[in-house]
Structure 1
């Protein structure tokens, strides 16, 4: 599986070479990047993906994805798993978009697809977090079916449990 498709997006599974180009912020002729891509979050996600690959090998579907618009195949952000499921069979997700495309529902659309992929792989659920001041990201997680699960002095936590093949807020 090389990616996921939604109505408006392609979630392209990154290769090691693509992740290295994102970390180096060095596009190749075939790369189509929106202004502002890759951002700091994309670089951090690609670094995490590369570290996980070096430590555990190919993560399969539990890796990193580039969010591309289907219309023009331009990369507008990143989304992915922070690694394979943990001992409780939960995955942790993260995502981000370039400023020029925020507010169009792309993050929610991409996160729903990623959560469905996780559910189809038999995980028990997914976790995510957002800075307390990042209300937009908190809305994305709620819109994708995740539920508030607590907070600390800087971060608000969300999670969803999959029950009998469907997402259930938990």
Structure 2
């Protein structure tokens, strides 16, 4: 949870609803949610659940505004930390709420959580032309870690003494 957002941990039923674009009973979705990115993240989450079980708390989260309860996007980890303590993150918002600081707020919350769990490194990426997302990661403390033909890669590393499990 952040000042303006609730990061709601998704279960398989939540992800299945997002994948087909039909809100479960009692859920509030802002117009435009879920978008194609949310559906792709839901499919990835469901595939992980089918292969290895739920990765929560290192799974998908629905981003909800605290002010009205509406889901406006998604954020989360692409799975549990690997043997070196590394995880990959992703996030996305519906177009109508971009530029209001929600992505930065959600990403910072994920990074604080990852660090509190002893994660050593968090990685993410953005399309080369997605300057907004690159700025979000940089503002959250992530640093550019390379560029390929379509993506700019970012990461943040914590030393063992920076982490609570040290």
Q: How much has 1:35 moved relative to structure 2?
A: 1.1
Question: Counterparts of 1:46-125 in structure 2 under 5 Å?
Answer: 46-125=42-121
Q: Which residue of 2 aligns with 1:31?
A: 27
Matched, 1:141 2:137: yes
TM-score after normalising by structure 1: 0.92
Matched, 1:160 2:144: no
Q: For residues 91-141 of structure 1, what are the alpha-carbon distances to aligned partners after superposition, in whole Å with 9 as ceiling and x for unaligned?
A: 000000011111010000000000111111111010000000000000000
In structure 2, stretches of 5+ residues that fail to align are none
Q: How much has 1:87 moved relative to structure 2?
A: 2.7
Counting strand residues as a fraction of each chain, which structure ranks higher?
1
Q: Which residue of 1 aligns with 2:39?
A: 43
1:20 to 8, 11, 16: 16
TM-score after normalising by structure 2: 0.95
In structure 1, stretches of 5+ residues that fail to align are none
Aligned length: 162
The 2-side partners of 1:49 and 1:119 are apart by: 22
Q: How much has 1:28 moved relative to structure 2?
A: 2.9
CA RMSD of aligned residues (A): 1.0
Q: Is the 8 A contact 1:120 1:165 kept in 2?
A: no
Q: For residues 72-98 of structure 1, what are the alpha-carbon distances to aligned partners after superposition, in whole Å with 9 as ceiling and x for unaligned?
A: 110000001011112321100000001
Q: For residues 151-170 of structure 1, what are the alpha-carbon distances to aligned partners after superposition, in whole Å with 9 as ceiling and x for unaligned?
A: 0111000000123336xxxx
Q: How much has 1:60 moved relative to structure 2?
A: 2.2
